[in-house]
Amino acid sequence: MQETTPPTLAEHLVTQHVTIPFMDRHVDIEYQWIFPERHDQPLVVFLHEGLGSVAMWKDWPLQLCQAAGCRGLVFSRYGYGSSTPRPHEETWQPEYLQVQAQEALPALLKALGLQTEKLVLFGHSDGGTIALLYAAIYPERICGIVVAAPHIFVEDITVASIMQARETYLQTDLADKLQRYHRDPDSAFWAWNDAWLNPDFRNWNIESFLPAISCPILAMQGDSDEYASLDQVYGIQRGAPQTELFVIPQCGHSPHRDQPDMVIAETAAFIHGLE
């Protein structure tokens, strides 16, 4: 029997844009559906990292949806990917992740007709934080969340690594590399970098939100995460005792890139357990 070539991301996904109200304006949000025909299967919404986008995920969301038998929604937040860029004079305040969870994500889901559907969220880094906040603010809308390398408070290691990223951006061709993933790399990079290096951000902490989360949680983090210690996921379990922890061996801050097969297996098993 002739072997078939596994489907690629491009074969299944078509980039679309939708306009949503956000803050004092309307912005265009880039998004892609994965297996939208699976109407009766769970819908996983993917929330990217602080420098992420639809393109930055590459084909990993498709691989997860294939393994878990579910649908997927991938999108680029305002300021990222081919969504509306952030004006360069606009700075993001320490509560910008809360704003994403409380305003931007609900607006996107409403625009796509998903405001009444119970979701599974998969969030990486900043996206993991947004997933936690959304599940705390809108617990009735979520049936489970998976967070990979999330942040719930600021650590010295986080600030040091973000300062190093700043130097790398200024002194290397990182901006050119990010051009592949963002319409305006400066918009994406400096919004994230300036927010985290703002002295007022050092007191940022979302631990008080965690007890409001009622759904199952899978919290995973690499044992060699260069942006945070394991105190982040341990803190999630303290605040939300239903949390299942997964410390990933030989893994840095991007579990789905460093250990993709392992993360897919754990996440698919978690999603199947929700059914």
pLDDT digits (tens, 9 = 90+) for 9-29: 545 579 999 999 998 899 999
Is the pLDDT at 35 greater than 90, yes or no? yes
pLDDT given at position 2? 40
3-state class (DSSP) for residue 213 = coil
CB-CB contact of 125 with 150 (8 Å): yes
pLDDT digits (tens, 9 = 90+) for 168-211: 999 999 999 999 999 999 999 999 999 999 999 999 999 999 99
Phi, psi of 200 (to 5 degrees): -70, -20
Which has the closest alpha carbon to 235: 203, 259, 205?
205
Is the pLDDT at 5 greater than 50, yes or no? no
pLDDT given at position 11? 58
Structure tokens at 234: 């341990």
pLDDT given at position 116? 87
Q: Is the sign of the CA dihedral 138, 248, 256, 254 positive or negative?
A: positive
More confident residue, 105 or 8: 105
What burial class does residue 262 get, using C-beta atoms within 10 Å of its C-beta: 0-12 exposed, 13-18 middle, 19+ buried? middle
pLDDT given at position 10? 47
Mean pLDDT of 110-123: 95
pLDDT digits (tens, 9 = 90+) for 215-237: 999 999 999 999 999 999 999 99
Please give the helix or strand (H or E) that residue 110 lies within, else none.
helix 105-111
Identity of residue 150 = P
Could you give all domains of the chain from N- to C-terminal order, each with its CATH number?
Answer: 10-274 (3.40.50.1820)
Whole-angstrom distance, CA of residue 144 vs CA of residue 235: 18
3-state class (DSSP) for residue 217 = strand
Is the pLDDT at 149 greater than 90, yes or no? yes
Whole-angstrom distance, CA of residue 272 vs CA of residue 270: 5
Structure tokens at 143: 């049936």
pLDDT digits (tens, 9 = 90+) for 59-107: 999 999 999 999 999 999 999 999 999 999 999 999 999 999 999 999 9
pLDDT digits (tens, 9 = 90+) for 119-129: 999 999 999 99
Whole-angstrom distance, CA of residue 228 vs CA of residue 222: 9
